[in-house]
Structure 1
Amino acid sequence: MTDFDPATYLPDDLLDRIRERAPIHDRENTFPQADLDELRAAGYLSILVPAERGGAGLSLEQAAILQQRLATASPATALAINMHLVWTGVAKVFSDRGVPGLEFVQDGAVAGEVFAFGISEGGNDLVLFGSDTDAAPQPDGGYAFTGTKIFTSLAPVWTKLGLHGLDTTSADAPKLVFAFVDRTDAVVTSDDWDTLGMRGTQSRTTRLNGAVAAPDHVVRRIDPGPNPDPIVFGIFSVFEILLASVYTGIARRALDLSVAAVQKRRSKKTGTAYSQDPDIRWRIADMALAYDALPPQIAALAREVDAQVDHGARWFTLLSGVKHRAVTMAKHVADQAMLTGGGGSYFSSNELSRLYRDVLAGMFHPSDPESAHSTAASAWLGPLGT
């Protein structure tokens, strides 16, 4: 990490342009195509791809730092790019552990492919451990997927969709099948993304009507339910760490804006800057104390994923915990930032107003608060009924 300079991969001028475009995409409910184009040209889509395959060869810890930095400019852009980085991160988990099968993801990222994350399904609280999507085996070893995926970020632009479905007909069924499909006529993207925040992600609903994954793009067939397979650990670890990073970046931006605001605003009563008001100082300190805890937690867990530390089943508590703490911290910081910003922060044109809306999305990503608490309770108290 000593030679790592985040500005090398996300220069200030690039962040400034992304920040300028963010309110436009929020207001118009459009995908930040120019952000993607510039990030792709800068090699950002392949930051987690090994150097020997043409990528930047960064660690998960370094990618987490960069995602925090990107989120300070545009949370929606960072969250959308997150979903692509999850798959390149899973490919890194595989290659680091000598597991073959995702080299095409690494090569595709270097070539400019955009990978989307097609795991979420309405009402499926099993998430990685089950699926309502039908995975029908094909004679050549491929699979045809039929079902509905929700919250498919990068919906207008992805070129390959990583997804899972349930094979119920093979001799060894049931099996959860993880694979990648191309964008074809068998994939229908709804124009239904009109949300409170994170509007630029364009995380639309995706309907699969027999979308076929070629045999060489079928990555894993595993038993449903909790599973130590690298695909489960890879997705869960990279997803949770990079999500925590995005929301921690939002908190950092809200804190920075608050500091700037109270240094500029002056009290009519005392004539001094609000930064000299004891109550305001306490509020800023409270935000800073909450924020400061998260970057080192994220960095430590990311390093341990890269170093292949074996926490066993405890990994799930650690990973769901850091994501939960990041989003609750970010929401707390955003709440406090709105108060320190004054009445002007309530206007939709104010950046704090957008951050406040964007941060609310954090609670809906896996692991949600109920799942995170259930996982922690089981780790400390044992499963229910024992």
Structure 2
Amino acid sequence: MTTSVDTAQSDTDPADRLGTVIDDVIRPQAAIVDREGAFPRQGVDALAAAGLLGLASSTEVGGGGQGMRAVAEVIERLAAECGSTAMVVLMHYAATAVIEAHGPREVRTAIATGGHLTTLAFSEYGSRSHFWSPTGTASAADDGSVRLDARKSWVTSAGEADSYVWSSLPLSGDAGPMTLWHVPAGSAGLSVTGDFDGLGLRGNGSRPMTGEGIRVPSAAMLADDGAGLDTALGAVLPWFLVLNGAFCLGLADSAVAEANRHLTGTTLTHTGAALRDAPVTRRDLARLMIRTDALRAFLGDTLTALETGRDDAMLRVLQVKALAGETAADVTDGAMQLCGGSAFRKELGLERRFRDSRAARVMAPTTDALHDFVGRVATGLPLLDEANR
């Protein structure tokens, strides 16, 4: 990826730049990305050129210096138009959080200036959605480099990203549960080993990858050996869970808006009444609106908790994706039912949002895992027991 920030655009408001990219590229391409299962390269490049991939990067390296609230708004607006593009950018921001804290300056600068797309490579065949329990290995090589071997089961932007934040068992057996690495694309031994033909998020490029004898310098380690779990929980998880909340909000809100347009603009010829004229229909729409607005309020409170350092901030972070995933699934399902047979036609865009919304429930940490985490925190237990660390 060689895109760099357009300096003329960098002086404009990020929200305005995002709106231009959505209008010119993201929205017109959304149905094509979904239908063809194509990686949204045009949209990603346009976001990079507008300075939005570097929005969360430090101003010290040329980034936008924006916090999680501004980034969440980007994800929400993208998800309302194209779930695949939103998920690619979400994973980029989550990986950027680690690289900003522990990565090399040249990579941070490349991200900040729009020339570098990164992503997370955590999920593995051996441990599936339990990202906190890697089975891939790291071992010291004779030449001072480190050898990485793993079978990653799902990597968003696989084969498309410029780098991967890669998890492994630690170099030292007693160092801790996990170590993180910066693995550049094109590294020898790194390969995409399958295709993705999914129900939803069809263009996000979530494919399996294999690392077989990847060699990286010891300096590619992100934080200390064995400290990867603490880094993942402290740096990655808040960004990942909160941005997933914003992602689900964008899907739900756009589904409600589309249903509202359909009910308002559709008239029954034989009676002359619009669909909105039926009290039951209005009631059902209101229920969807209230659930969506409740998620919006909860997401906003989660962001406030993080920004102010509230004692319940981590609890809110764990709750928000669980709430958001169920809300998006239920609201998009309700919008489909409300619009009847018309919703099954692709031109309305509801069935695409319905399919995209299903991912949040099963994306690690899954809704079931988050419910357990919330229960553990609420009852005074550690987030993970020692057997899982």
Q: TM-score range by the shorter chain?
A: 0.7 to 0.9
Q: Which amino acid aligns with 1:155?
A: A
* CA apart distance, 1:27: 1.1
Cα distance in 1 for residues equivalent to 2:21 and 2:365: 34
Q: How does 1:1-20 map to 2 (within 5 A)?
A: 7-12=15-20, 14-20=22-28
Corresponding residue for residue 97 of structure 1: none
* CA apart distance, 1:150: 2.0
Structure 1 SS opposite 2:212: strand
**Which among 359, 363, 373 is matched to residue 365 of structure 1?**
363
Q: Work out the number of aligned pairs and report it.
A: 370
Residues 1-49 of structure 1, C-alpha deviations (whole Å, 9 max, x = no match): xxx9653231246335311211112111111111111111111110001
**Which among 186, 191, 206 is matched to residue 188 of structure 1?**
191
Q: Which amino acid aligns with 2:237?
A: F
Corresponding residue for residue 237 of structure 2: 236
Contact 1:162 1:180 survives alignment (8 Å): yes
* CA apart distance, 1:342: 2.1
Structure 1 SS opposite 2:135: coil
Residues 227-252 of structure 1, C-alpha deviations (whole Å, 9 max, x = no match): 6x344311111110111111110111
Give the structure-1-normalised TM-score.
0.88
Corresponding residue for residue 349 of structure 2: 351
Contact 2:170 2:177 survives alignment (8 Å): yes
Corresponding residue for residue 340 of structure 2: 342
**Which among 358, 361, 375 is matched to residue 373 of structure 2?**
375
Corresponding residue for residue 178 of structure 1: 180
Among all aligned residue pairs of Structure 1 and Structure 2, give the percentage whose two residues are the same amino acid: 25
Q: Residues 27, 119 of structure 1: CA spacing in aligned structure 2 closer, same or farther, 3 A cutoff?
A: same
Q: Residues 129, 247 of structure 1: CA spacing in aligned structure 2 closer, same or farther, 3 A cutoff?
A: same
Contact 1:140 1:215 survives alignment (8 Å): no
Cα distance in 2 for residues equivalent to 1:248 and 1:336: 15
* CA apart distance, 1:179: 0.8
Q: How does 1:81-160 map to 2 (within 5 A)?
A: 81-91=89-99, 94=101, 101=103, 103-111=105-113, 112-124=115-127, 127-138=130-141, 142-160=145-163
- Structure 2: give runs of 5+ residues left out of the alignment: 1-11
* CA apart distance, 1:353: 1.0
Corresponding residue for residue 252 of structure 1: 253
Give the structure-2-normalised TM-score.
0.87
Cα distance in 1 for residues equivalent to 2:84 and 2:144: 37
* CA apart distance, 1:162: 0.6
**Which among 196, 200, 205 is matched to residue 202 of structure 1?**
205
Cα distance in 1 for residues equivalent to 2:146 and 2:304: 35
Cα distance in 2 for residues equivalent to 1:126 and 1:259: 36
Segment of structure 1 superposing worse, 110-119 or 297-306: 297-306
Q: Which amino acid aligns with 2:157?
A: L
Corresponding residue for residue 214 of structure 1: 217
**Which among 161, 166, 169 is matched to residue 164 of structure 2?**
161
Q: Residues 133, 41 of structure 1: CA spacing in aligned structure 2 closer, same or farther, 3 A cutoff?
A: same
Structure 1 SS opposite 2:56: coil
Cα distance in 2 for residues equivalent to 1:133 and 1:15: 42
Q: Which amino acid aligns with 2:272?
A: G
Cα distance in 2 for residues equivalent to 1:334 and 1:381: 33
The reply on whether 1:55 has 2:53 as its aligned counterpart is no
Structure 2 SS opposite 1:367: coil
Corresponding residue for residue 265 of structure 1: 266
Pairwise CA RMSD: 2.6
Cα distance in 1 for residues equivalent to 2:339 and 2:13: 31
Cα distance in 1 for residues equivalent to 2:232 and 2:295: 26
Q: Residues 242, 302 of structure 1: CA spacing in aligned structure 2 closer, same or farther, 3 A cutoff?
A: same
Q: Residues 376, 104 of structure 1: CA spacing in aligned structure 2 closer, same or farther, 3 A cutoff?
A: same
Contact 1:176 1:221 survives alignment (8 Å): no
* CA apart distance, 1:125: 5.6
Cα distance in 1 for residues equivalent to 2:280 and 2:54: 45
Cα distance in 2 for residues equivalent to 1:104 and 1:160: 13
Structure 2 SS opposite 1:201: coil
Q: Residues 156, 49 of structure 1: CA spacing in aligned structure 2 closer, same or farther, 3 A cutoff?
A: same
